[in-house]
Amino acid sequence: MALFHEAMRDVSPLPAVDRIVVCDTTVSAVPRQQNQYEDEGTQDTLSDHVVMDLEVGDSWNFMRSGISQQTLKRLRRGHWRIQEELDLHGLTRDEARQALSIFLDRCSQLGIRCVRIIHGKGLSSRNREPVLKTRIGNWLMQRADVLAFCQAKPEHGGGGALLILLKNLSVAAV
């Protein structure tokens, strides 16, 4: 307290004013913007019951029929800049499926081409195996807007992440 009084020794109080200053600017209420997905009730059409042949390994990848091997190589080498990412760590299977569906819908609407999905390596799971990895691969294969995906480079998450190339819907709409 002595230090405070010492620091305030040269300070003089402000003169008392018997007026109250009222700010006349009124702020109009802005209604809460609902998330477009709340209105539409985003259709989660991804199924756990559709199992597609997908080998999970070091070179884990997928490309839709009609996509060249060169496109997959470009994706793996980082030809497209990662524009968005979704981290699914700690989510349940159902939460992850819904989050992925909403995320990919939003990316498609915004014309985003390349995204990263982080699913984790499963190091903290019961059997130390990735729980979401194969499910995410199957979910992605069910989406028509997913052209290709591959395991990320080590600096982008390695075996715990995927790089995904989406259709360029903005070109199709023109």
Three-state secondary structure of the chain: CHHHHHHCCCCCCCCCCCCCCCCCCCCCCCCCCCCHHHHHCCCCCCCCCCCCCCCCCCCCEEECCCCCHHHHHHHHHCCCCCCEEEECCCCCHHHHHHHHHHHHHHHHHHCCCEEEEECCCCCCCCCCCCCCHHHHHHHHHHCCCEEEEEECCHHHCHHHEEEEEECCHHHHHC
pLDDT of residue 48: 53
In-domain check, residue 62: yes
Computed over every residue of the chain, the mean pLDDT equals 78
Whether the predicted pLDDT of 137 surpasses 80: yes
Number of domains within the chain? 1
Q: Domain span at residue 82?
A: 58-173
Give the model confidence (pLDDT) of 94-114 as tens digits. 999 999 999 999 999 999 999
User: Would 3 be classed as within a structural domain?
Assistant: no
